[in-house]
């Protein structure tokens, strides 16, 4: 994407979605949960009240501008800085995608508001939906996800089950493994039983590869994730590792880098792959942005990750 947008970012490469244009409807870190593993850092104050957090007319205008400029993507995805279903009009993005493009739409949600019938109806307009379920009871849910007061584990599970009953599109459940919190075999057996009751088309097993919100949160090893994935059946795949081919040959501007890093803290190698540029060239730009105070760095698993201040 060669020009700056306020609500659009990417296209971001995805192993499953190809080139995914992101749509961000929520101000930074406005979320129903404060997950210990979140790559965007801690949520200052969790919320469960739905509102028009950003003007939908402006979002749709940016989508029209992107389309008019010849923008290309394999999917258009609601994701980004917070929980997208908090936005009262998030369904209008899916309607726009269906009416104005031949691209498929995706909703990435933690699933916490699917207990609300209106949210389920809106979410069902997406071609693909991914929800999260990484706990097995209220205590583990509170420990890992630290939700807003109105959000309970029972509501989460009931909402995701009810959504599956009405939704005919592709439904995925992400299970995020945090070493020492939900990584034991017996804990995952309980999670797997609940996930199976939701009847997803796919189960993604993930872990905290990028720097997490809470210091000390550690990823599980690939070998252990593969062992845990077997508990979830043949629909489960380990998605924690990431490699992707180039998706763009455009010159990378600082605005493009900031737009992506704000929502997806990343290493130089991954960013180079995403933008189709030389890692050496990109590292020089990133180092300059760090020296000027635009970015911060943090080492994680032998790789340096870049993320935005604030």
d(Cα 66, Cα 260) in Å, to the nearest integer?
16
207 CB neighbour count, 10 Å cutoff: 25
Q: Torsions phi, psi of 43, nearest 5?
A: -85, 115
Report, as ranges of residue numbers, the positions in the chain whose pLDDT lies below 70: 1-3, 13, 15, 211, 213, 241-253, 255-256, 263, 273-281, 300-301, 309-310
Q: 9, 43, 262, 10: which is closest to 148 by C-alpha?
A: 43
The pLDDT, as a whole number, for residue 297 is 82
SS (H, E, C) 257-291: HHHHHHHCCEEHHHHHHHHCCCHHHHHHHHHHHHH
The pLDDT, as a whole number, for residue 219 is 83
The pLDDT, as a whole number, for residue 201 is 97
The pLDDT, as a whole number, for residue 261 is 78
The pLDDT, as a whole number, for residue 274 is 63
Alpha carbon 127 to its chain centroid, in Å, reads 16
Q: 82, 69, 68, 70: which is closest to 22 by C-alpha?
A: 82
CATH class of 250-310: mainly alpha
| Residue 78 and residue 23 in contact, taking contact as beta carbons nearer than 8 Å | yes
Q: 298, 222, 224: which is closest to 261 by C-alpha?
A: 298
Label residue 69 exposed, middle or buried (CB < 10 Å: 0-12, 13-18, 19+): exposed
**pTM attached to this predicted model:** 0.78
Q: What is the CATH number of domain 8-242?
A: 3.20.20.70
User: Is there a common fold for 8-242 and 250-310?
Assistant: no
Domain boundaries along the sequence of the chain: 8-242, 250-310
């Amino acid at each position: 994407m060669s020009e700056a947008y306020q609500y659009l970012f990417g296209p971001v490469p995805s192993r499953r979605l190809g080139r995914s244009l992101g749509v961000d409807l929520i101000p930074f870190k406005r979320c129903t949960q404060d997950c210990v593993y979140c790559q965007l850092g801690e949520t200052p104050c969790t919320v469960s009240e739905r509102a028009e957090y950003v003007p939908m007319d402006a979002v749709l205008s940016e989508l029209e501008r992107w389309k008019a400029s010849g923008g290309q993507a394999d999917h258009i995805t609601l994701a980004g800085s917070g929980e997208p279903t908090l936005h009262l009009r998030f369904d209008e993005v899916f309607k726009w995608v269906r009416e104005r493009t031949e691209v498929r739409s995706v909703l990435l949600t933690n699933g916490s508001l699917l207990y609300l019938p209106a949210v389920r109806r809106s979410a069902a307009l997406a071609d693909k939906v991914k929800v999260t379920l990484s706990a097995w009871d209220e205590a583990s849910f509170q420990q890992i996800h630290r939700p807003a007061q109105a959000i309970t584990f029972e509501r989460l599970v009931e909402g995701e089950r009810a959504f599956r009953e009405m939704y005919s599109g592709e439904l995925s459940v992400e299970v995020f493994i945090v070493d020492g919190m939900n990584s034991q075999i017996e804990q995952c057996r309980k999670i797997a039983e609940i996930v199976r009751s939701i009847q997803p088309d796919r189960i993604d097993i993930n872990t905290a590869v990028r720097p997490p919100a809470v210091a000390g949160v550690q990823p599980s090893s690939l070998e252990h994730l593969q062992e845990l994935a077997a508990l979830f059946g043949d629909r489960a795949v380990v998605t924690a590792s990431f490699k992707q081919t180039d998706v763009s040959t455009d010159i990378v501007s600082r605005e493009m880098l900031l737009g992506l890093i704000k929502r997806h803290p990343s290493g130089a190698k991954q960013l180079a792959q995403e933008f189709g540029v030389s890692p050496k060239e990109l590292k020089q730009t990133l180092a300059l942005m760090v020296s000027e105070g635009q970015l911060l760095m943090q080492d994680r698993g032998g790789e340096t990750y870049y993320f935005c201040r604030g």
